[in-house]
Amino acid sequence: MSRSVQAKALVETLLTIPTVRIQNVPRTTEKLQKVIQDGKHNLHFISDFDMTMTRHWIRNRITDALERNSSSHGIPARSSIMTQEYKDETHRIYNKYYPIEIDQTMTFEEKVPYMMTWWKEAHASIVQQKLKKQDLQEMVKQVSMELRSGLDRVLAHCRHHSVPFLVFSAGIGDLIEEILRQADLYYENMHVVSNMMVFDKDNVCIDFKEPLIHVFNKSEFQLETSPYHRLIEERRNVILMGDSLGDLQMSQGLKHDLCLNIGFLNHDIKSLEPAYMAAFDIVIEGDANMNPVMEILEQIQ
């Protein structure tokens, strides 16, 4: 079977999945053809973490009602380790800034100053708690965070085929690494670029490393200066996964021939679908699983 026929058949298969949307079929088919043709040795992944590698919605274990999954920034506030003052402050700033993040009437540029302030206030609140490294382990054990169904298969496949996998997140990197470790999903082919804590000689968190990464400035982080770059500098094709239009910036700090963009549209589907379908090559709707991603990976030899 030619690569062209294989790519067309793959797109047809993807479109039979009820949660998958593809607006520009010719463009997506062309990208998939190149990814398949160039093979796994020319491929790497860049993925957001919160609400991309994790679920957006989970079932409350007591009421069975749908509720928001925890984010990496949200884990401390849901643990017993943090003070009530911290939890109240986190609730206050979330209610102040989250509506701005999702405001569809504002541009990215208008939102950036608010996001910078939000992240700085959130990190300052954490530093005030004088957390220790071992506290992070306990937090992750305490707080139920659900990974997206099928993520384990995607990560295992990438590990088995030595496909580098970058987790690029505006969350808290130390917690993301701990979440993946406790799930036995943090492999040697993976690297996390995120907001990392600074610990003193007593393993107490005293600051966060610069630069600060928030949801709308991922294009400003130069991945070429990170240790991850040596793993992927010869790999010219990238599969990017994110749940926000801002995540499309994640590949801008790297030289590549092709970027296949996969967007997870978890909420407000009716209002956001046109923008997501125009921006992403493949859109997976409804907080669905990663089976479409595995369909793609299984075609790449």
Of the listed 50, 135, 174, 243, which one is catalytic?
A: 50
Active-site annotation holds for 247: no
Task: State the DSSP code for 294.
Answer: H
Give the integer Cα–Cα distance in Å for 118 and 93.
7
Q: Smallest Cα–Cα separation from 183: which of 88, 296, 49, 283?
A: 49
Give yes or no for a contact between 77 and 87, defined as CB atoms under 8 angstroms apart. Answer: yes
C-alpha distances out from residue 128 to 116, 121, 122, 123, Å: 18, 11, 10, 9
Of the listed 48, 135, 174, 243, which one is catalytic?
A: 48
Strand partners, 260: 239
Give yes or no for a contact between 235 and 164, defined as CB atoms under 8 angstroms apart. Answer: yes
β-pairing verdict for 197-199 and 237-242: unpaired
For residue 299, the SS3 value is: coil
Give yes or no for a contact between 208 and 227, defined as CB atoms under 8 angstroms apart. Answer: no
Active-site annotation holds for 257: no
- List the structure tokens of 284: 């997976």
Give yes or no for a contact between 33 and 10, defined as CB atoms under 8 angstroms apart. Answer: no
Burial category of 22 from C-beta neighbours within 10 Å (exposed 0-12, middle 13-18, buried 19 and up): middle
The catalytic residues are 48, 50
